[in-house]
Chain A
Amino acid sequence: AQKITQTQPGMFVQEKEAVTLDCTYDTSDPSYGLFWYKQPSSGEMIFLIYQGSYDQQNATEGRYSLNFQKARKSANLVISASQLGDSAMYFCAMREGRMNYGQNFVFGPGTRLSVLP
């Protein structure tokens, strides 16, 4: 079974509008971390936002916020006031278990966001 599901292979949004990118995850571990990364056409992976499974508040970083619904196992990324530079692939990722240096992430298949002028 897929551990990370991103059901939207592609999304379009008008510049200056908000957009939500979906992510659902599957784990039986009570301790985990959820991440969103942006990958522009240059290929680099840019860290956007992190949410820990025990965090009470939804994470926010500037125009990015994470809508964390633990019971539904969803961790949607909300980008407010979209900009043309937001056009990129977006990956949701999960780290299972308590944090230590040796744990790898599981990545979702990604969503390609296109911001329209």
Chain B
Amino acid sequence: GAVVSQHPSRVICKSGTSVKIECRSLDFQATTMFWYRQFPKQSLMLMATSNEGSKATYEQGVEKDKFLINHASLTLSTLTVTSAHPEDSSFYICSAVGGHNRETQYFGPGTRLLVL
């Protein structure tokens, strides 16, 4: 149980395009999902908290118009990187809380984004 998927696993795009990343909880309902960004050899940095049916809560310094989050259902949250630039290249990873173990965040496998 507690499986979280993320799609795509890798994406390469041109500067100026938008990229959508999906995060799905496969076997439980996730009332809350979190989006993180991780630079090489660094820890996870929380970008935003996504609650089903409400607006996401963004961490300080994270542009909400740049990183659009939609938590449309109890099993799906999406992160859209709008007008991507090379500095947005990073590893993006989501997590979900819910199901039988409400204490733990279960993570997706992550998405490596490269903006050319």
Contact = CB atoms under 8 A, between A and B. Distances in A.
Contact of A102 (B51, B104, B110): B51
A45 B34 CA distance: 13
Interface string A81-107: 000000000010001000101101101
Interface stretch (B12-20, B60-68, B79-87, B93-101): B93-101
Contacts of B46: 104-105
Contact of B93 (A45, A104, A105, A109): A45
A101 B98 contact: yes
Interface residues of A, number: 22
B79 to A, nearest CB: 15
Majority SS at the chain A contact face: loop
Interface residues of B, number: 26
Majority SS at the chain B contact face: strand
Given A101-B32, A105-B105, A43 B93 contact: yes
Interface string B15-56: 000000000000000011010001000111010010100000
Given A42-B109, A43-B109, A47-B104, A101 B97 contact: yes
Contact of A108 (B2, B38, B43, B107): B43
B109 A99 contact: no
Contacts of A46: 107
Given A44-B110, A46-B107, 9 more contacts: A35-B105, A101-B32, A101-B51, A101-B97, A102-B49, A105-B46, A107-B43, A107-B44, A109-B43
Interface of B: 2, 31-32, 34, 38, 42-44, 46, 49, 51, 91, 93, 95, 97-98, 102-110, 112
11 contacts: A47-B105, A50-B103, A95-B103, A99-B103, A101-B31, A101-B51, A101-B102, A105-B34, A107-B44, A108-B43, A110-B43
